[in-house]
Structure 1
Amino acid sequence: MKNVSSIGTSLVLLGIVEMEGFKYLYCSLAVIVYLLILLLSFMVVFVVLTEESLHKPMYILIYNLTLNGVFGSSSFFPKLIADLLTSSKVISRAGCLIQALCLSVFLYFEVFTFTIMAYDQYLAVCLPLQYVMLMTTVKTVKLIVGSSTFSFMVVLIAILLSARLPLCGVEIRNIFCDNMSVFILSCLDSTVNNLYGGIITVACLIFTMGIIAYSYLQIFITCFTLNRYSYKKAIYTLVTHLLNFLIFMVGAIFIFVRLRIGSDNLPIFGHIILSGSVAVFPPLLNPLIYGLRTNVLKIKIMNRLEKLRTLP
């Protein structure tokens, strides 16, 4: 095969080719979904940012989760919409690596944010008397900054490992770039990339899933010792967090299944559905679910909407 290792070489997104027949329909759906994500997300972000009473760990984490969803969807939707409108099916290798970097950081940071939220709820329910000292606003911000920095660094190393490889192909069976879709096109052995990605992913999942499982198990056990009001409140919060986390994990499992089935054994439309779900559903549903199920936040949002409605 011809060596196409130049960083300026354009790669072909076969997912866009697959969508060409109904591109205006898909484009309209993409615009609607993206605008909904922006509207719902910025509504939550604005309320948390401007309401001083919401400057607490739980709401800061919701704010962070919502903003991360905007970052992830913005790494995906604008180019998709532009490609569908212009019938463009190509992306430069540099642009492809940047998009893969952004989407991977979004995924890692999403997992870490859910982990911090689980830890926060564990302290709030299981150690309520010590919560104010153990989970301060400053500590929350430090955890967010630390996890975001770690996510960026581990993903950046993976992207740099892929950038050094010469490519012998240009076709990516998707509508956007992800790191594995790039390095499987390599002319050279990509064992280092596979090994690094596998070790980092497994280590992060074991660490985060362990904290999440322990936190929610302790919360569930503690709920039985609470009075009726506290029990209902704790269970309500627990269900909200679990619902959002499961939505994200379903999308993440889809990506795992897509990569393990094999590129040639799965139709291109299957790649679109499986990989696109994680970039669409969490950013769309997170602000919607938290906005509806978090009572204090819901009241603040409704008050703001009521004020807007009464403006002349």
Structure 2
Amino acid sequence: MITNFVLVGLIEIESFRYVCAFLALALFLVTLFVGSMIVYVTWTDKNLHEPMYIFICILVVNVIFGNSSYFPKLAIDLLSGCSTISLTGCLCQSFCIQLYAWVEMFTFTAMAYDRYLAVGHPLRYNSLMTNITIQKISLAMYVFNVMRVIVSVLLTLRLTFCGVNINNVFCEIMSLQSLACSDITINVIYGTTSTLSVVIVCVLVILYCYIRTVVICLKLSAESSQKALHTLMTHVLAFSIYVVTFLFVNLRYRLNWGSVSKQVDVIIPLIGTSIATTVNPLIYGIRTKALREKILCNLQKIVGKPKE
């Protein structure tokens, strides 16, 4: 019975392992710092205790969780020259990365709906989107996605594996399934059905909310419209980057791109996953005016420079 696997992606980038390890640590620390600052200023400033900023915090905390399951291990493996991982470790990393990805998708959906309510129903917004409602939404999406990912992990755990080479720098459920010599029909049906159904529903809800928000913005005053559209464009930018990399990583095994070289097959998801798990805190930290000003103010206090 095979209990250890080889992360071929680590071997493929062996020549650049120190550079890649430095970049992995740098991206992790930058994301951790910016994300922590966003959470801190939102937590300490009562003016930011609004649904939009709370959802941004949920998104940022989830990104930190995803980064923590990906970058530290990548850097340690590259620096130590280790390219193997146990089945238990592989399943744990797969669980964390999948949970991060699905919670991210649901959070974007909740944020789009929140912005639609704020613009489309301003008078009823405070009663429709309360702190209790946010707590219920957050709890529901975590419970739902934890259960979905657990089922996926358990279906993979029952498999018998004939191969050990995982063509990636990290573990994911589909990479393990591709090494199985037992029947994976149930796994494929569950994975494909679950992925497509959730993605389609979430994307349709997001598109509906975006379109309705834009239509409503066209009827508002120039100042109100500009503010709402700026917030909307921030969401669109962050979601677009996420969904492109998410779909590629999830569909590349199902599409069976045999003509793609092993190096390209490793490098593209490496870059894609790195981008998807780092840019969102930077986007919201830079493009959200209230957060940007609070973060800069706190940084000035840290370095001892008075705000001018």
Please give the range of the TM-score, normalised by the shorter of the 2 chains.
over 0.9
On the 8 A contact 1:258/1:275 being kept in 2, the answer is no
**Deviation, structure 1 residue 52:** 2.0
**What is aligned with 1:302?**
296
Q: Give the aligned partner of residue 51 of structure 1.
A: 45
The answer on whether the counterparts of 1:73 and 1:279 sit within 8 Å (CA) in structure 2 is no
1:188 aligns with 2:182: yes
**In structure 2, how many angstroms separate the alpha carbons of the residues matched to 1:45 and 1:187?**
45
How far 1:277 moved relative to its partner?
3.6
Superimposed CA distance per residue, residues 236-268 of structure 1 (whole angstroms, 9 cap, x where no aligned partner): 111111000011012113214522442653323
Is contact 1:173–1:263 with CA below 8 Å preserved after alignment? no
Structure 2 match to 1:62: 56
Matched, 1:200 2:194: yes
Which secondary structure does the structure 2 equivalent of 1:91 belong to?
strand
Secondary structure in structure 2 of the residue aligned to 1:129: coil
The answer to whether structure 1 residue 276 and structure 2 residue 278 are counterparts is: no
Greater alpha carbon shift after TM alignment, 157-166 vs 198-207: 198-207
User: CA separation in 2, counterparts of 1:153 and 1:284?
Assistant: 26
Aligned pair partner of 1:167 in 141, 148, 161: 161
The residue number in structure 2 matching 1:150 is 144
Rounded Cα–Cα distance in structure 2 between residues aligned with 1:97 and 1:237: 37
Aligned to 1:126: 120
Select between 294-303 and 95-104 the one with higher mean Cα deviation: 294-303
**Residues 256 and 98 (structure 1), Cα distance of their counterparts in 2 relative to 1, 3 Å cut:** closer
How far does residue 197 in structure 1 lie from its aligned partner after superposition? 0.6
Displacement, 1:231?
0.8
Q: How does 1:243-282 map to 2 (within 5 A)?
A: 243-262=237-256, 264-282=258-276
Q: 2:80 aligns with which of 66, 70, 86?
A: 86
Instruction: Spell out, residue by residue over 1:263-305, the C-alpha distance to the aligned partner (whole angstroms, 9 max, x if none).
Output: 6533232233332244322332111111111111112112211
**Aligned equivalents of 1:183, 1:260: Cα separation in 2:** 11
The one-letter code sitting in structure 1 at the alignment partner of 2:111 is: M
Residue 161 of structure 2 aligns to a residue in which SS? coil
User: Which of the residues 233, 237, 245 maps onto 1:239?
Assistant: 233
Is 158-167 or 257-266 further displaced after alignment?
257-266
| Aligned equivalents of 1:145, 1:204: Cα separation in 2 | 17
Pick from 81, 86, 90: which aligns with 1:96? 90
Whole-angstrom distance in 2 between the partners of 1:48 and 1:269: 42
Separation in 2, partners of 1:253, 1:161: 21
One-letter code aligned to 1:216: Y
The reply on whether 1:11 has 2:5 as its aligned counterpart is yes
**Match of residue 218 from structure 1:** 212
The number of residue pairs the alignment matches comes to 306
Gap change, CA 1:235 and 1:311, over 3 Å in 2: closer
* In the alignment, structure 1 residue 73 sits paired with structure 2 residue 67: yes
Distance 1:263 1:183 in 2: 16
One-letter amino acid of the structure 1 residue matched with residue 200 of structure 2:
I
CA shift digits 1:127-162 (9 cap, x unpaired): 111100000111112101110111111011011000
Given that 1:66 and 1:283 are in contact with CA atoms closer than 8 Å, whether structure 2 keeps it comes out as no
User: Given the two structures, how large is their TM-score scaled by the length of structure 1?
Assistant: 0.94
TM-aligned CA distance change 1:265 to 1:97, over 3 Å = farther
Letter in 2 for 1:77: F
Tell me, yes or no, if structure 1 residue 23 matches structure 2 residue 27: no
- 8 Å contact from structure 1 (residues 72, 279) kept in 2: no
